[in-house]
Chains A and B, each alone.
Chain A
Amino acid sequence: MSESGVSTKPEDGMVIVCWSGEIDKVWPQMILGTTGAAYGMDVTLFCTFWGLFTLKRPEVGITGDNWMTKMLGAFNNERLSHLNFGGAGPKMMRSIADRHKVAPPEELLATAMELGVRLAPCQMTMDLMGLKREDLIDGIEEPLGAAAAVSRMQNAKINLFI
């Protein structure tokens, strides 16, 4: 039992496979992750494929070591899954969210870290995108593979893929 009387048994775990880096999907990743932590759950956000962009330092571009990985750099810009309008959509969505006092994904990410949410980058995605540990933000876990992620999912009551 933790200090607030909340059970922290392993089966009270939550794993969110954060696959998308689109802002309208990063939002629910962060909202559900922080809420799980507020429930006293042991929460892991396993950041893979486009979801890894959330953990990338903003100043780091995807450079890659050949023309194909270099092309991934085109995805550095913020996107919406629907109504993207060439990048205008995310700006509108942020402005509407701000008017409704919805915290931006960056603030929710900081809150998640404050609450002890485990942010786990996918090693294979890092290799694909040519990202090194130092290209990612501080305060996250060591990179994981699929097996370590599955072990956590096996012990989690709630598993989501967003």
Chain B
Amino acid sequence: MSDVAKTLDASGLACPMPVVRTRQAIDQIESGQILEVISTDRGSLQDIPAWAESTGNELVEKEDAGDRFTFRIRKA
């Protein structure tokens, strides 16, 4: 597992902001680096993986802690 280059805390944000902020955050890292996203929006469980797949970025980890979700995405 590579180190996390950047962490985005999207806690408390509702649809569509976790995905929007994820996009803005991934624009700030280099290709191959990992972005970690923390969200409390349940929709993110579907939205972040769907966004990653459609944009060609790789979802390497998804953690569901019940009310807090963590994603690690490798930038394409």
A residues in contact (CB < 8 Å) with B: 3-7, 31-32, 34-35, 37-40, 100-103, 108, 111, 115
By a CB distance below 8 angstroms, the chain A residues around B27 are 3-4
Are A6 and B15 in contact, with the CB atoms below 8 A?
no
Are A101 and B13 in contact, with the CB atoms below 8 A? Answer: yes
- On whether the beta carbons of A35 and B19 are closer than 8 Å, the reply is yes
Instruction: Give which listed residue, B31, B51, B56, contacts A38 with CB less than 8 A.
Output: B51
Residues of B within 8 A of A (CB): 12-17, 19-20, 22-24, 26-27, 31, 51, 54-57, 75-76
Can you report 18 residue pairs joining A to B where beta carbons are below 8 Å apart? A4-B23, A4-B26, A5-B57, A5-B75, A5-B76, A6-B55, A6-B56, A35-B16, A37-B20, A38-B19, A38-B20, A38-B23, A39-B54, A100-B14, A101-B12, A103-B13, A115-B20, A115-B24
A residues in contact with B55, CB < 8 Å: 4-6, 39-40
Task: Report the Cα distance A102→B17, complex, angstroms.
Answer: 9
Structural contact, A38 and B13, CB atoms closer than 8 A: no
| Chain B positions within 8 Å of A101 at CB level | 12-14
Complex contact B26–A31 (CB within 8 A): no
Select A4's contact among B14, B15, B17, B75, beta carbons within 8 Å: B75
